[in-house]
Amino acid sequence: MTLATIVRGLPGFELIGLAALDSELAVRALRCRSSPFSRRMQLRQLDESHAESRERFAIGAHRRVGTGMRWRVRRAPMLRPSMLRCFSSPAYFAVLPPVHVFPMAKFRQSAAMLREHSIAAVIDPGTISDADLMRVHTPDYAASLQTGHYNAATALKLGLPWHPTINVRARAATAGTLAAARAAFEDGLAANLAGGTHHAFPDRGEGFCVFNDVAVAVRALKRDEPVLQVMVVDLDAHQGNGTNFIFAGDPNVLTYSVHVGRNYPSVKVPGSVDVPLSRYTSADEYFDRLESTLPGAIERFEPDLVFYNAGVDVHVDDKFGQMKLSTSDMRRRDEFAIDATRRWGIPTVLVYGGGYNRTPGMTGWLHVQSVHVAASRWTLERGERS
């Protein structure tokens, strides 16, 4: 009896990921989780599993079976979504001075395009609670966003003049990343139509990043599942110094980043796996480095959840990225990153990251392309499962 068979016998439950398909794919999906020998042992152990084991699989927590292998079974949602679930709201907009380099319109613009073309379902995530926010950020910093009295470091480094909507937008966008993570556990893939604000530190904002949405989401999820293993795959042109700082020394969070070495932030905080590139590196060199490092990092760490920062400032026409990927190179990048996690059935959350394209409207369009890749993969998986 395979795990898929066991799970099929449990009304209202499904195995997340490729392992739900059939025994052949179950073996494939689990290949990274154990050596061939222990895998055989573990599958036999599953064959002999009794009613109590099934109950343990079914309660929704992930359990270790034997050594080094985890099964994740969750209650299937009552209503299956018909499209990739994405999170956004009218609050994803903050007022900036009339001439400002940050393309604030990209959030509303991309959400509207995704809706208009029926690429994804766009859902309002509400706002993040104080309790969730304070698991990462200091009370003083959070309060300063409400009053507008930025601390000195934030005033110097954030780059967004204060307005009440700065706080409202950042809280809504942080809620979107947490909501997308919860959706990804049910659907395999989900996206926040913002987020990836990886330069934010617990006590200050930097580089247009107010709150560290991914860190807040990780800590909120870990409240329920303390041993959750999370990987951050950061392919924004810049290194996620704030995220690296927050998770430094945490064995259950792996940060992986491909970025331009000599670019903002000038002082890097080391991550778990850093792949620095030279400025304006060729697409060939970029894919060489990405493709030779990302799959191995995923297979060694065996994450339960991946946050994919699909920053679009890697585009050739970006003002700050100092990279030169074309639009089609970026599609290839998104496909590679998403396939690298989904081939193992790992729940994956796409977040926007940065983008400052010289062509008006292009930044939002590039984000739409990333979400379109995720939506296409999600539709493909759904077809394979049904």
The span from the CA of 113 to the CA of 122, in Å, is 10
Q: Which are the contacts of 368, defined by CB distance < 8 A and separation ≥ 6? A: 110, 113, 114, 119
Q: Which of 107, 354, 371, 381 binds Zn ion (CB under 5 A)?
A: 354
Residue whose CB is less far from Zn ion, 46 or 290: 290
Q: Binding string, 118-157, against Zn ion, x = CB under 5 A?
A: ----------------------------------------
238 lines the binding site for Zn ion (CB under 5 A): yes
Smallest separation (angstroms) from Zn ion to the CB of 271: 14
The span from the CA of 321 to the CA of 319, in Å, is 6
236 lines the binding site for Zn ion (CB under 5 A): yes
> H-type helices in the chain, by residue range?
3-8, 23-30, 36-47, 51-58, 105-116, 130-133, 139-147, 152-157, 164-187, 213-224, 241-247, 283-301, 327-342, 362-385
206 lines the binding site for Zn ion (CB under 5 A): no
Q: Which are the contacts of 29, defined by CB distance < 8 A and separation ≥ 6? A: 17, 18, 19, 343, 344, 345
Residue whose CB is less far from Zn ion, 236 or 304: 236
Q: How many helices (H) and strands (E) does the chain have?
A: 14, 12
The span from the CA of 51 to the CA of 6, in Å, is 10
Q: Which residue is nearest to Zn ion (CB)?
A: 354
Q: What would the two tokens of residue 319 be?
A: 């003002």
Residue whose CB is less far from Zn ion, 169 or 238: 238
Burial class (CB in 10 A: 0-12, 13-18, 19+), 319: middle
Per CB under 5 A, contacts with Zn ion among 69-108 are: none
Question: Per CB under 5 A, which region of 7-15, 223-231, 305-313, 363-371 contacts Zn ion?
Answer: 305-313
Question: Per CB under 5 A, which region of 180-188, 222-230, 290-298, 304-312 contacts Zn ion?
Answer: 304-312
234 lines the binding site for Zn ion (CB under 5 A): no
Question: Per CB under 5 A, which region of 70-78, 101-109, 267-275, 352-360 contacts Zn ion?
Answer: 352-360
Q: What would the two tokens of residue 105 be?
A: 């319109």
Smallest separation (angstroms) from Zn ion to the CB of 165: 22
Cβ atoms < 10 Å from Cβ of 216: 27
Q: Which of 132, 206, 234, 313 binds Zn ion (CB under 5 A)?
A: 313
Question: Per CB under 5 A, which region of 96-104, 114-122, 288-296, 311-319 contacts Zn ion?
Answer: 311-319
Question: Per CB under 5 A, which region of 69-77, 94-102, 181-189, 303-311 contacts Zn ion?
Answer: 303-311
Binding site for Zn ion (CB under 5 A): 236-238, 311, 313, 354
